Amino acid sequence: MDKTQVSFPGLGIEFNISPVAFKIGSFEVYWYGILIAVGMIFCVALAIKQARKNNFSPDLVYDIAIVSLPSAIVGARLYYVLNQWQYYSSDLSRIFDTRSGGLAVYGGIIGAFLGAFIMLRIRKIPYSTCADYCIVYIPLGQAIGRWGNFFNQEAFGTTTSLPWGMKSADTASYLSANCPYLDSSMPVHPTFLYESIVDLALFFILYNVRRKSKYSYETLSVYMIVYGVFRFLIEGLRTDSLYIGNTGIRTSQILSLILVVFGLLLIAFMRYRNCIRLSLPERFYADQNAAAVSSDAAAVSAAGAGDPSEETETSEAETEAEADTGSEVEADGTADTGADAEDDAGEKNDMTEENDGGQ
């Protein structure tokens, strides 16, 4: 596998990397695909683990993932193809060649939410509840997946003299071919790194918003606003942006502005109408309660299943205790009977003495 030397001259750091992680025969497995898959799996697993303590259903997380993950891949590819239609229209078979690159984050997000929306509407499950729960994990997956851009040496920005500027043969070659107005010998902004850091911070922000907020769509709206603002700024640095036709307007910046405005309006509307976040249908909680009862029953059964010899010894001890108690009761009864007899005898003697005195 061919490797590329990547350096951060201002930091004195160098790496030798390859976009290919390993080969199976002649089939190459790329780091980009591995990191996207790892991000997806990790986020789904974390969402399932945290579901019950957030009053959500782990089973519903599975259902949403099964629908939204394929939808995200289709949406990411379709978004990219539509923005590069002049290239793909000349040979439609290129559309299915995803190994040559061409996935867009915004398209993936749109595809995932559209697929989940259709499924939830069919099953009559509140979309706002699911969106507010699941959106927390989206930026975490993005933070992991962005490192695929590092291994591919793509999604970088313009030249910079900042200490963390990145330099490689791939960046120099790209700048020479596509940005002749820039000095290709200069380091470039590692914009993939900027977005990865922002996404990771956004994950923690959304986690706290979801925990404290009671309004529908508020967690989702915070994602729209924060991600939209930073994506707009980062996109302005990139050298490989998608544009709306020949207008020179960056598609992602327009979408970012729309997200920010829509997010702000959505928060204001939900608070004005006092739209409290809905609960899931009762059937999901019934399944959880049944599972909890079954788990408790199993625990009680396991605790009650002891060593037979211990049970025998316990039974024998209980029998002896009962015998001792019985003996004490009998002794007390005999003593009480004797005392009563003495009292009766004393009463008779007194009566006899009284009669004798009267004669």
pLDDT at site 57: 95
pLDDT of residue 287: 56
User: What is the pLDDT of the chain when averaged over all its residues?
Assistant: 85
The whole-number pLDDT of residue 9 equals: 95
Checking if the pLDDT of 334 tops 70, the result is no
Domain limits, the chain: 4-281
Question: Is the pLDDT assigned to residue 326 strictly greater than 80?
Answer: no
Alpha carbon of 89 to those of 64, 80, 85, 107, 178: distances in Å? 33, 13, 6, 19, 22
> What is the pairing mode between strands 13-17 and 20-24?
unpaired
pLDDT at 314 over 80: no
Report the pLDDT value the prediction gives residue 97, as an integer from 0 to 100.
85
The residue-averaged pLDDT of 290-301 equals 55
pLDDT tens per residue, range 226-260: 999 999 999 999 999 999 888 889 999 999 999 99
Determine the pLDDT at residue 292: 53
Beta bridge pairs of residue 276: 215
Q: What confidence category does residue 289 fall into, taking pLDDT thresholds of 50, 70 and 90? A: low
Give the global pTM: 0.79
Alpha-carbon distance of 139 to 43, in angstroms, equals 9
Structure tokens at 303: 């605790």
Alpha carbon 66 to its chain's center: 15
Torsion sign (Cα): 79, 80, 81, 85: positive
Whose CA is closest to 158, among 169, 167, 150? Answer: 167
Residue type (1 letter), 160: T
HEC string for the chain: CCCEEEEECCCCEEEEECCEEEEECCEEEEHHHHHHHHHHHHHHHHHHHCCHHHCCCHHHHHHHHHHHHHHHHHHHHHHHHHHCHHHHCCCHHHHHCHHHCCCCHHHHHHHHHHHHHHHHHHCCCCHHHHHHHHHHHHHHHHHHHCHHHHHHCCCCECECCCCCCEEEHHHHHHHHHHCCCCCCCCCECCHHHHHHHHHHHHHHHHHHHHHHCCECCHHHHHHHHHHHHHHHHHHCCECCCCECCCCCCEHHHHHHHHHHHHHHHHHHHHHHCCCECCCCCHHHHHHHHHHHHHHHHHHHHHHHCCCHHHHHHHHHHHHHHHHHHHHHHHHHHHHHHHHHHHHHHHHHHHHHHHHHHHC
Mean of pLDDT values over 195-215: 97
- Say which amino acid occupies 184: S
Closest CA to 275 of 137, 132, 122, 136: 132
- Lowest mean pLDDT, pick from 22-26, 40-44, 292-296: 292-296
Strands, sheet with 4-8, edge to edge from the N-terminal-most edge strand: 13-17, 4-8, 167-168
- pLDDT at position 190: 97
Identify the pLDDT of residue 181.
92
| pLDDT of the residue at 81 | 92
pLDDT at 98: 80
Of all residues in the chain, what percent carry a pLDDT higher than 70? 79
pLDDT of residue 351: 42
Bigger pLDDT: 229 vs 296: 229
| Res 103: pLDDT | 87
* Residues near 78 by beta carbon (within 8 Å), at least 6 away in sequence: 107, 111
pLDDT tens sequence across 50-69: 999 999 999 999 999 999 99
Q: Is the predicted pLDDT of residue 342 greater than 70, yes or no?
A: no
Give yes or no for a contact between 257 and 235, defined as CB atoms under 8 angstroms apart. no
pLDDT at residue 167 in the model: 96
**Residue 272 in tokens:** 């004005």
Structure tokens at 300: 């009680």
18-22, 86-90, 199-203, 270-274: segment of lowest average pLDDT: 86-90
Q: How far apart are the first and last CA of the chain?
A: 137
Residue 312's pLDDT band (boundaries 50, 70, 90)? very low
Residue 312 has, within 13 A of its CA and on its CB side, a CA count of 3
Dist. CA 274–CA 30, nearest whole Å: 48
Residue 291 above 50 pLDDT? Answer: yes
